[in-house]
A and B are shown apart, each in its own frame.
Chain A
Amino acid sequence: MIVHPVLSWLKDWWVGIVETYGLPTWFVPAAQMVVNAILIAGFIAVLVLFLIWLTRKVSAHIQQRLGPMRVGWHGCVQTVADALKLVQKEDTTPRDADRPVFNIAPFLAFAPTVVAFVVIPFGDGAIVRDLNIGVLFLFAITTINVIAILAGGWASNSKYSLLGGFRSAAQLVSYEVPLILSVLGVIMLAGTMKLGAIVEAQNAMWFVVYQPLGFVIYVIAATAEVNRTPFDIPEAEQELVSGFNIEYSGMKFAMFFLAEFANMFLVSAVAATLFLGGWKGPWLPGEFWFLAKSFAIVLLLMFFRWTYPRLRVDQLMSFAWKFLLPLAFLNLLVTGLILVLM
């Protein structure tokens, strides 16, 4: 509703320029790709700055503090100041670190998150590529995060970061299974993996009504996927200092941070798209509804963080394999049965 006209206007303008100066025709899609990439990267940057501020504010108010108050109105530009400080910091590498892996890990963590935003429908027509394997692509690409975290933990050559990386790998791999199984119910209902089509299929009723169990499993598994409390053992401060990212500083640390918060928004956006009707909503533009639903889930994750204590490693594993996985199968079975019988 908002993004689509702007993008098509930009395209028309660019096509006009290409035709006027007689440039090769492949300039048009190339320019489109660049514009899309810049839009998504800018969106993620602004989003993460806002999310960090929101996290600090929400956590502060839950603990009956005020949180950042000095920089700007209620500290709203505090994160910008923090980001500037992080950029200025010295970029250190431990002496015994595995240098190439150490240097590439933060970018390996951040890049898949950016790529995953390609298939998210932000609004009516505001989707970069509505792939026919959208959901599969999404989960396939975000799983690369595990490798980045493990690589970062390993390459730092520190026992804390290595333990954090191992724990993270075990956790992410375990929770990936119920996560995808919970999403399968939605795919069965919609009959497609195209995210745009899934949103269209929720025209009459949100899928959360047909898939309440699937939604609950998705939210729990997604919380574990993005390493939020109560599943934050990869970076358990009291045990591991900070997990896989202890040895990182400056811009590389900022990349891990960016990836973490962008991932948090990504799983929320996917939950909003798959279960809460995506950008569909009355009166207001689709972009507003998409952001509102996504931020509702983000707030839910933040409340989880300040409400629940951290699980032990064995509890975490048994919860995933003995509880969530059977439930996800049950959900799948019931959904399939109903679809066949109806």
Chain B
Amino acid sequence: MNVFRALGRVIKGTWWLFVGMVTTTKHMLRRSITIQYPRQRFEQWPRFRGRLAMVPDEEGGHKCTACAQCLRICPAACITLERHKEEGVKGFLVDAYVVDLGLCIYCGLCVEVCNFGALEMIPEYEISAYDKADFIYDIPKLLARQLEPEFKR
């Protein structure tokens, strides 16, 4: 009896070895799931939360009212705001709105909290730089979209 059991195990094992080979062959014939990164890129989903950006209004300016809610909620304290008051104007005027993307944790709380829809997270993700200063985004940089990525071959 033992002999038959052993023989059965051998046959079963051989069968599974064959199944394994079929599996690898199938995988070999499938399309590769990796891409040649700098030359090809994955298409981002429209709601992918990449870097922080400001939503431009009709004239191309920003919508910020300097209410500083984003500053209050930012857990990483990466936003700095300079504002002043002027006679006869309601609310504040923005002098500078600077985001340090080196500190940003991409949580999106500032976007959630903004009452005026001035901030959004755009699908741009290639923001690495050689200099820390390049991570500091002021208003024009925050308004700009899809800076054409450069790479050397």
A215 to B140, CA, bound (A): 72
Cα–Cα distance between A308 and B31 once the two chains are bound (Å): 22
CA gap between A187 and B67 in the complex, in Å: 92
- Residues of B with C-beta under 8 A to A303: 21, 24-25
- B17 and A58 form a contact (CB under 8 A): no
Interface size for chain A: under 10, 10 to 19, 20 to 34, or 35 or more residues? Answer: 10 to 19
B2 interface hit (Cβ, 8 Å): no
Residues 15-29 of B, flagged 1 when their CB comes within 8 A of A and 0 if not, give 001001101110110
Find chain B residues with CB under 8 A from A65 CB. Answer: 32-34
Q: Is B47 an interface position by the 8 A CB rule? A: no
Q: Which of B88-123 contact A (CB under 8 A)?
A: none
What residue of chain A has the Cβ atom nearest to residue B26's Cβ?
Answer: A62
Q: Is the CB of B31 within 8 A of A64?
A: yes
In Å, the complex CA distance between A306 and B21 comes to: 9
Residues of B within 8 A of A307 (CB): 17, 20-21, 23-24
- Asked if A61 contacts B36 (CB within 8 A), the reply is no
Closest residue of B by beta carbon distance from A58: B28
Within 8 A of B (CB), among A53-82: 58, 60-66, 69
Query: Is B152 located at the chain interface by the 8 A CB criterion?
Result: no
Cα A65 to Cα B32 with chains together (Å): 5
B84 at the interface (CB under 8 A from A): no
Residue B132, interface by CB 8 Å? no
Residues of A within 8 A of B17 (CB): 307-308
Q: Is the CB of B32 within 8 A of A64?
A: yes
In the complex, whether B5 has a CB less than 8 A from a CB of chain A is no
B23 A66 Cβ-Cβ under 8 A:
no
Chain B contacts of A58 at CB under 8 A? 28
Name the one of A63, A66, A69, A308 contacting B27, with C-beta atoms under 8 angstroms: A63
| Residue tally, chain B, CB below 8 Å to A | 14
- Across-interface contacts of B36 in A (CB, < 8 A): 66, 69
* Residues of B close to A62: CB separation below 8 A: 24, 27-28
Interface centre among B21, B24, B25, B36 (most CB of A within 10 A): B24
Q: Are A308 and B20 in contact (CB under 8 A)?
A: yes
Per-residue 0/1 for B118-145: is the Cβ within 8 Å of any A Cβ (1 yes, 0 no)? 0000000000000000000000000000
Interface string of B27-46 (1 = CB under 8 A from A): 11011111010000000000
Inter-subunit contact A64/B24 (CB<8 Å) = no
Provide the residues of chain A in CB contact with B32, threshold 8 Å: 60-61, 64-66
CB closest chain-B residue, reference A69: B36
Least CB separation from B19: chain A residue: A307
Contacts of B31 in A (CB 8 A): 64
Residues of B within 8 Å of A63, CB to CB, are: 27
Name the CB-closest residue of A to B22.
A307
CA–CA, A69 and B51, complex, Å: 31
Closest to A300 in B: B21
Bound Cα distance from A126 to B21, whole angstroms: 34
- Which 7 pairs of residues, A with B, have the shortest CB-CB distance? A307-B20, A307-B24, A62-B28, A61-B28, A64-B33, A66-B32, A65-B34
Q: What would be 20 A-B contacts, judged by CB atoms less than 8 Å apart?
A: A60-B32, A61-B32, A62-B24, A62-B28, A64-B27, A64-B30, A64-B31, A64-B33, A64-B34, A66-B34, A66-B36, A303-B21, A303-B24, A303-B25, A306-B24, A307-B17, A307-B21, A307-B23, A308-B17, A308-B20
Using a CB–CB cutoff of 8 Å, the interface residues on chain A facing chain B are 58, 60-66, 69, 303, 306-308
Extra pairs beyond A64-B30, A64-B31, A307-B17 (6, CB < 8 Å): A60-B32, A61-B28, A62-B24, A64-B27, A65-B33, A307-B24
